[in-house]
């Protein structure tokens, strides 16, 4: 299984639409606005997702080194592979953590940073230290990798109890994108309201 290209495109389209509705965009000088439009169009024509880039290898190397130095754990290869494809996003209360701004040459702050969020969460929830690497969150959930097994999991934000376990990181991030887009699909016939099934306010894959 791989990341859902339709979800990535829909998120990218949302971000571009939000940008073009923003005061920032409307007040740009004409030359700068034309340059920005050209860059977005070029990205799209090259098969990229405008405003939803993947991380650069040098950035990922710096992040991996910092994770090891400050958290004393390896950044899972599955997380690195996700960040190569999509370097974080925030939409509709759902965030996938990306490379921290301090590890980018341009110092661009694209949203919650993976290292910073884990430093905060490990400090706030000592029981998760060396147990979970947090990769994202929503209003109700933490999304994480269980370090002992490498399994992607969903944790209740208040209790930290596991609510769902995914087979792959791709499945987890696809599910996060569905939540971010509000695209919950149709309720499976006979499905019950329990962890792993669709329910109001969240979506966990039934694959």
Tens digit of each residue's pLDDT, the chain (207 residues): 589 999 999 999 999 999 999 999 999 999 999 999 999 999 999 999 999 999 999 999 999 999 999 999 999 999 999 999 999 999 999 999 999 999 987 766 668 999 999 999 999 999 999 999 999 999 999 999 999 999 999 999 999 999 999 999 999 999 999 999 997 665 434 434 444 333 334 567 544
Q: How far apart are CA 2 and CA 187, in angstroms?
A: 23
Measured distance CA(58)–CA(104) in Å, rounded = 8
Contact 130, 73 (CB under 8 A): yes
Residue 55 CA: distances (Å) to CA of 40, 59, 83, 101, 147: 17, 7, 6, 11, 22
- pTM to 2 decimals? 0.86
CA atoms within 13 A on the CB side of 41: 6
**How does strand 132-137 pair with strand 141-146?**
antiparallel
Q: What is the pLDDT of residues 52-70, one digit of tens each?
A: 999 999 999 999 999 999 9
Percent of the chain at pLDDT exceeding 90: 83
Domains in the chain: ranges and CATH: 1-52 (no CATH), 53-181 (3.40.1580.10)
């Amino acid at each position: 299984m791989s990341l859902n290209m339709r979800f990535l495109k829909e998120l990218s389209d949302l971000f571009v639409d939000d940008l073009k509705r923003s005061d920032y965009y409307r007040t740009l000088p004409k030359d700068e606005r034309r340059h920005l439009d050209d860059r977005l169009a070029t990205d799209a024509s090259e098969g990229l997702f405008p405003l939803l880039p993947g991380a650069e290898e040098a950035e990922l190397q710096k992040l991996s080194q910092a994770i090891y130095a400050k958290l004393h754990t390896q950044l899972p290869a599955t997380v690195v592979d996700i960040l190569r494809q999509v370097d974080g996003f925030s939409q509709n209360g759902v965030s996938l953590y990306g490379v921290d701004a301090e590890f980018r040459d341009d110092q661009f702050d694209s949203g919650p940073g993976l290292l910073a969020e884990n430093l905060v969460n490990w400090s706030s929830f000592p029981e998760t230290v060396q147990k979970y690497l947090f990769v994202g969150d929503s209003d109700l959930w933490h999304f994480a990798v269980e370090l002992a097994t490498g399994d992607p999991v969903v944790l209740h934000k208040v209790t930290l109890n596991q609510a769902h376990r995914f087979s792959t990181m791709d499945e987890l991030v696809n599910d996060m994108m569905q939540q971010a887009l509000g695209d919950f699909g149709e309720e499976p016939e006979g499905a019950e309201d329990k962890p792993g099934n669709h329910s109001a306010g969240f979506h966990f894959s039934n694959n």
